[in-house]
Amino acid sequence: MRTYIADIEKFEDGMEVTVQGWIQEMRKIKNLMFIIVRDNTGIIQITVKKGSIPNYDELYEITRESVISVNGLLNKKSISRSGTEILASNIEILSIADTPLPLGVIDRVSADFDTRLNNRFLDLRKPEHLIIFKFESQLLFGIREYMNRENFIEVHTPKIVGAATEGGADLFGVEYFEKKAYLNQSPQLYKEMLISSGFDKVFEVGPAFRAEKENTVRHLNEFTSIDMEAAFIDDKKAMEYLERAISYAVNRTIDIMGTDLDRLEYHIDRLEPPFPRITYEESLKYLNNQGLKLSFGDDFSPEANKILAQKFKGFYFITGWPTDMRPFYTHPDTNPRLTKSFDLQLADIEVTSGAQRIHNYRMLEENFMKKGLNKNDFEFYEKAFKYGMPPHAGWGLGLERLVMNLLGLNNVRESTLFPRDRTRLSP
RNA sequence: GCCCCGAUAGUGUAGCGGCCUAUCAUACAGGCCUGUCGAGCCUGUGACACGGGUUCAAAUCCCGUUCGGGGCGCCA
Q: What does the mean pLDDT of chain A come to?
A: 90
Q: Which residue has the higher pLDDT, A196 or A166?
A: A196
Q: Where are any strands of DSSP class E within A311-391?
A: 315-319, 341-346, 349-357
Spatial separation of the C-alpha atoms in residues A394 and A388, rounded to whole Å: 18
State the average pLDDT over residues A328-349.
92
Q: Which residues pair with A69 in a beta bridge?
A: A20, A92
Q: pLDDT by residue (tens digit) across A305-317?
A: 988 988 888 899 9
User: What nucleotide is nearest A224 when CA is compared to C1'?
Assistant: B76
pLDDT (average), residues A374-397: 91
In this predicted structure, the answer to whether residue A168 has a pLDDT above a threshold of 60 is: no
Q: What pLDDT is stored for residue A211 in this prediction?
A: 87
Give the burial class of A52: count Cβ atoms within 10 A of its Cβ; 0-12 exposed, 13-18 middle, 19 or more buried: middle
Domain assignment of residue A118, yes or no = no
Tell me how far CA of residue A53 lies from CA of A57, A64, A86, A149, in angstroms. Answer: 9, 19, 13, 54
How far is it, in rounded angstroms, from Cα A56 to Cα A215?
A: 52
Which nucleotide is nearest to A108 if distance is taken from CA to C1'?
A: B26
ipTM at complex level: 0.87
| Lowest-pLDDT choice from A22-26, A48-52, A166-170, A178-182 | A166-170
- For residues A268 and A365, membership in a common domain is answered with yes
DSSP code at position A412: G
Range of the domain at A91: 5-95
DSSP-derived pairing of the beta strands A277-279 and A222-231: unpaired
A115: left (phi over 0), alpha (psi -120 to 50) or beta: alpha
Q: Would you place residue A163 in the very low, low, confident or very high pLDDT band (cuts 50, 70, 90)?
A: confident
CATH, residue A213: 3.30.930.10
- At A88, the amino acid letter reads A
Does A295 score more than 70 pLDDT?
A: yes
Q: What is the pLDDT of residue A310?
A: 87
- A191 and A134 housed in the same domain: yes
Residue A245 within a domain: yes
Same domain, A135 and A237: yes
**Residues A89 and A159 reside in one and the same domain:** no
Residue A80 pLDDT more than 80? no
Say what the pLDDT of residue A165 is: 61
Give the separation between CA A9 and CA A144, rounded to whole angstroms. Answer: 32
What's residue A289's pLDDT? 87
- Whether residues A326 and A286 share a domain: the answer is yes
Between the CA of A108 and the C1' of B57, what is the distance in angstroms?
39
pLDDT at res. A111: 87
State which H helix or E strand residue A394 sits in. Answer: strand A392-398
Indicate left, alpha or beta for A320 from its phi (over 0: left) and psi (-120 to 50: alpha).
left
Band the pLDDT of A276: cuts 50, 70, 90: very high
Query: Is A270 part of a structural domain of the chain?
Result: yes
Cβ atoms of A400 and A406 closer than 8 Å: no
Q: What is the mean pLDDT of residues A238-242?
A: 96
What local confidence, expressed as pLDDT, does residue A40 receive?
Answer: 93
Q: How far is the CA of A66 from the C1' of B20 (A)?
A: 38
High-pLDDT (> 90) share of chain A, %: 61
Checking each nucleotide's C1' against the CA of A345, the nearest proves to be: B76
Query: Å from A105 (CA) to B48 (C1')?
Result: 27
Do residue A72 and residue A215 come from a single domain?
no
CA of A114 to C1' of B53 (A): 32
Cα separation, A113 vs A116, in Å, equals 5
Residue nearest to nucleotide B27 (CA to C1'): A100
Percentage of chain A lying above the pLDDT 70 cut? 99
Distance A112 CA to B56 C1' (A): 40
Within 7 Å of a protein beta carbon, the nucleotides of strand B are 1-3, 10-13, 25-30, 32-39, 67-76
- Smallest Cα–C1' distance to nucleotide B70: which residue has it? A216
**Helix, strand, coil share (%) of chain A residues, nearest 5:** 35, 30, 40
In whole angstroms, B1 C1' to A207 CA is 26
SS3 A423: coil
- Is pLDDT above 70 for A376? yes
Kindly indicate the confidence band of residue A298, based on its pLDDT and cuts at 50, 70 and 90: confident
Q: What pLDDT is stored for residue A167 in this prediction? A: 56
CA of A25 to C1' of B12 (A): 20
In chain A, the number of structural domains is: 2
Report how far apart, in Å, the C-alpha atoms of A390 and of each of A153, A201, A357, A360 are.
Answer: 17, 12, 10, 9
On the question of a cis peptide bond just before residue A187, with omega within 30 degrees of 0, the verdict is no
> Nearest nucleotide by C1' from A220 CA?
B76
CA A224 vs. chain centroid, Å, equals 7
In a domain, residue A425? The reply is no
A427: in domain: no
Query: In whole angstroms, how large is the CA radius of gyration of chain A?
Result: 26
What DSSP line would sit under A174-231, residue for residue?
Answer: EEETTEEEEE-S-SHHHHHHHHHTT--EEEEEEEEE------STT--SEEEEEEEEEE
Q: How far is CA A400 from the centre of its chain?
A: 3
Scanning A264-378, the segments in alpha helix (DSSP H) are 280-289, 302-312, 361-370
Q: Which range (A75-79, A144-148, A241-245, A341-345) has the least confidence?
A: A75-79
CB-based contacts of A229, cutoff 8 Å, min separation 6: A191, A192, A194, A195, A201, A202, A203, A357, A392, A393, A394
A349 shares its domain with A391: yes
Residue A63 CA distance to nucleotide B15 C1' (Å): 34
**Which nucleotide's C1' is closest to A212 (Cα)?**
B74
Task: Report the alpha-carbon distance of residue A196 to residue A198 in Å, rounded.
Answer: 5
Categorize the per-residue pLDDT at A164 as very low, low, confident or very high, splitting at 50, 70 and 90: low
CATH code of residue A82: 2.40.50.140
pLDDT of residue A17: 93
In angstroms, rounded to a whole number, what is the distance separating the alpha carbons of residues A418 and A123?
11
Estimate in Å the CA A424 to C1' B67 gap, whole number.
Answer: 11
Instruction: Find which nucleotide's C1' atom is closest to A116's CA.
Output: B11
Residue positions counted in chain A: 427
Q: Is the pLDDT of residue A332 over 60?
A: yes
How far apart are the C-alpha atoms of A34 and A207, rounded to whole Å? Answer: 45
Residues A91 and A134 in one domain: no
Q: Which nucleotide does the CA of A166 lie closest to, via C1'?
A: B75
